[in-house]
Amino acid sequence: MTAQRFAGQTVIVTGAAHGFGRAIAHAFAWEGANVWACDMNTEGLGETARLAHHDGLTLQTRAVDVGDSTAVAAFVAEAVAGTGRIDVLVNNAGGVRGQVGRPIEDISPADWQAIFAVNVDGAFFFAQAVAPHMKARTSGRIINISSGAGLGISLTGIQAYASAKAAQIGLTRQLAHELGAWGITVNNVAPGFVRSNPTTERQWESYGEEGQKKLLDGIALKRLGTSEDIANAVLFFASEQAGWITGQILSVDGGK
């Protein structure tokens, strides 16, 4: 049996109710980590735990609003109390909060802030909460999950989503320089379009046959990826092999 790369490590994964987050949480659990997974979608989070237990894996799951700094701090404190350490933080929580593309004049301040809260504020609050524990151990890995939208434009047409993902990439680079002196790396995975959750399924269907073909034709490998492709990139950044890599954005998109 292959040695488990993250045996004994404590890993926090946000947005773990489905899609990327579920795949990432399960991948770390398979690799021996003590995984603490959170989401506001308690039904989906329960399914993440059920599937893990079916495979003989153990996950701790909690309902946490990543935009609530007090709730984030409490969750991190509980994980530390339970395991004595935090080795890896994966800021995967994000998305469009049920919004669709609309003209800029139709966007309310609340709509704008809701998307920033989950995509940027959450990443900041979690990094802020784990940093002291990682500094004390002079090691740690923070991996943020952004999007191709943060490097270009959003296929959804949602202004706040493209802006928030770009901001998260900026946060990644800034924290990499701030935390590097303590042996903490901060990197970013920017997925391309993946059919990974109900929102992306609706988006895929909305393109129709012609739009789907156009999307695939624009990908070098001429196919969509999977949530496991994203999880593999995250595990690389969290591994010893990525120990001298920080402040980087890895596009996992089949080639553009």
Angle at 28 between CA 172 and CA 180, to 5 degrees: 30
> Across-strand partners of 4?
none
The CA-to-CA distance between both ends of the chain, in Å, stands at 36
How far is the CA of 23 from the CAs of 40, 104, 196, 230, in angstroms? 17, 34, 10, 8
Q: Decide if 161 is catalytic.
A: yes
Instruction: Please identify which of the residues 161, 168, 203, 253 carries the catalytic annotation.
Output: 161
> What is the b/e burial string over 119-136, where b = at least 16 CB atoms within 10 angstroms of the residue's CB?
bbbbbbbbbebbbebbee
> What is the b/e burial string over 45-56, where b = at least 16 CB atoms within 10 angstroms of the residue's CB?
beebbeebeeee
Place of tokens 């109710």: 17
Helix (H) or strand (E) holding 115: helix 109-116
Q: Give 10: exposed, middle or buried? Use CB within 10 Å, 0-12, 13-18, 19+.
A: buried
- Supply the residues annotated as catalytic: 161
